[in-house]
Structure 1
Amino acid sequence: MATHGNRGAPLVVTVASGQAELRPDPARPQGWTLLVNDVPQSYVDLADPERLEFPYVRQIGRALRAWSASGRTASGGTASGVPNRILHLGGGALTVPRLAARWWPGVAQKVVELDPLLVDLVRRELPPPPGVEIEVGDARAILETEDPRGYDLIVADVFDGAATPVSVATLGFASAAARALRPGGLLIMNVTDVPPLAWTRIQVATVRAAFDRAGLLGPAAVLRGRRAGNVVLLAGAVPRVPTERDERLLRAGELVVFSGGARPRLDAPR
């Protein structure tokens, strides 16, 4: 039976990647936090998909809004900035797909999630909104099979525990994403790092090698290398995303300075 509201105690199940827990929000009757191996992965409120608890998810939401408002719709999209197709690499509890479905009813969305038992849990307990297709598989492998220029937006939020797999952090991945995006499309990537942000600097160089334009959005303290945290990497038709207090959006020359001569991350020889 699907939840449709909080249970009195957390729901804990075994999944392919370890142990998943759906923890109810005592303050919101249909609010849930998904944890995998004790690492928070997603927060969703089935009654209010616009309630975004994690700061980086709020940044992703603002990036989506800014892209839509900028009028940089992809070829085949609508003149009003409404996307036709969105690809989500990494599913979790489907926070961003639920948000997109609220903002753009009827948009076709494909979610790729590696763990089939986690997909079963989410489908059963937190049913996805209409228009959301979930495919079980490897994010990089499925991306490489997508038709060229097939998507307006690609949101990459792929983690193995608390780390990004190298398979979705190389020039091969960035190039595959660039091929899968229509003109005017946008790639959004969640990146987590610790000072001195060596992984992020290389990731910026990697994406800039595949895209003409890029941007980096995040807390100023994280971008300055003062603390660990999440940042959001943007590529393609990068909009001017509104920033909140103590946030920064690095673009153009600032991004060149940030990357500091880092070289793109290449795939290992096959």
Structure 2
Amino acid sequence: MPSDDNARIEFRDDERGGVTVLRDGHPQSYVDVGDPGLLAFEYVQHFASVLDLLPAGPLAVTHVGGAALTLPRYVQHTRPGSPQIVLEPDAELTQAVREKLPLPRGHRIRVRPTDGWTGLQQLADASADAVVIDAFDEGRIPGDLVTTASLHRCSHVLKPNGVLLFNIADRPERAFLKRVLATAATAFDTMALLTTTEVMKKKRFGNYVLIASSTLDEAALGRRAAASDFPTAFVRAGETAAWARSAKPIADPDEDPAPPPETSGTLRFR
């Protein structure tokens, strides 16, 4: 159902009891209020599979991009009491989500109505166990989030053993992905990727989850990829580093190399 006359924000219910949230025609999130552990989007499952490997207990997580708060709900569900900050500039979207899809009682999710770049500057150094970047404007990643300055800022916000997760959407030739990897390599020593097998085989435009951490556990990540609900490819640190070396880092946010989406894609449900 639309939330306003222009249908800028839409909530589409399905027979499963979940809701897909769209902004300006682009799917942003899928939420089942009764089952926060249900993650419909492939890349969100990839996010969760990495967060699940972090030490037990509450996690301090900063989310750049919030939409319907699917991942913050998951973290609250799996690690109750986790202090979470969400940087989401679309205050109208946040209000509509709160009304349609209420957050659970006792949560510690705080949404700040600011863009990712501005919000990152306001965070304390070494304040987050994880920084998750999942931000799009009209289907494209904002240019100021993929620069050397932005990735270095993320590295400072993270605790020494923290992890950066970045949802990167690209065409099959991976030119933009490789440039983001080259940029991230200026701030992080170790990186890997998770994606679907068909995206890895260059069959379609799709999402890659960048994982950057000084404590990357390749064996555990490989096992999680093999156990995924859908065919998943794990690109290990060596190959990821080779891709990074083949491209030029992004210094200027106005360069704006992010490709527009070719299709809204097909959602997969577990």
TM-score, length basis structure 1 = 0.85
Alignment gaps of 5+ in structure 2: 255-270
1:133 and 2:110 are equivalent in the alignment: yes
Is 2:134 aligned against 1:157?
yes
Percent sequence identity over aligned pairs? 32
Equivalent residue, structure 1, for 2:268: none
Contact 2:191/2:211 (CA < 8 Å) preserved in 1?
yes
- Relative to structure 1, the CA distance from residue 257 to residue 224 in structure 2 (aligned partners, 3 Å threshold; closer, same or farther) is farther
Determine whether 1:220 maps to 2:189. Answer: no
Q: Is 1:12 aligned to 2:3, yes or no?
A: yes
Aligned to 1:254: 239
Q: 1:3 maps to which residue?
A: none
CA contact (8 A) 2:144 2:253 kept: no
For 1:205 and 1:168, the matched residues in 2 are separated by 14
| Structure 1 position 33, deviation (Å) | 0.7
* Distance (whole Å) between structure 2 residues aligned to residue 113 and residue 128 of structure 1: 16
**1-side partners of 2:24 and 2:96: how far apart?**
15
Shift of 1:64: 0.9
The answer on 1:148 being equivalent to 2:125 is yes
Change (3 A) 1:209 1:143: same
Inter-partner Cα distance in structure 2 for 1:53 and 1:148:
33
Q: How many residues align?
A: 244
Matched residues in 2 for 1:212 and 1:259: separation?
Answer: 11
1:14–1:20 contact (8 Å) kept in structure 2:
no
Indicate yes or no: 2:188 matched with 1:201. no
Q: 2:51 aligns with which of 56, 64, 86?
A: 64
For 2:21, which of 31, 34, 44 is the aligned residue?
Answer: 34
The 1:267–1:224 alpha-carbon spacing in structure 2 relative to 1, beyond 3 Å, is: same
Q: Matched residue of 2:204: which SS?
A: coil
Counterpart for residue 161 of structure 2? 184
Partner of 1:171: 148
Q: Supply the AA of the counterpart residue of 1:202.
A: R
Q: Any conservation in 1 of the 2:143–2:253 contact (CA below 8 Å)?
A: no
Aligned partners of 1:260, 1:267: CA distance in 2, in Å?
19
TM-score of the two chains, using structure 2 as the length reference: 0.85
Q: Alignment partner of 2:110: what SS? A: strand
Residues 1:23 and 2:1 aligned together: no
Distance 1:169 1:268 in 2: 7
CA RMSD between the two structures: 1.8
Alpha-carbon distance in 2 for matches of 1:179, 1:260: 23
| Preserved CA contact (<8 Å) 2:147 2:253 | no
Separation of aligned partners in 1, 2:151 and 2:240: 17
Offset of residue 116 of structure 1: 1.1
**1:116 aligned onto 2:91:** yes
**Larger RCO: 1 or 2 (CA < 8 Å, sep 6+):** 2
Relative to total residues, which structure has the larger strand share, 1 or 2?
1
Paired with 1:14 and 1:258, the residues of 2 have a C-alpha distance of 45
Q: Is the 8 A contact 1:172 1:267 kept in 2?
A: no
Q: Give the gaps of 5 or more residues in structure 1.
A: 1-9, 72-80
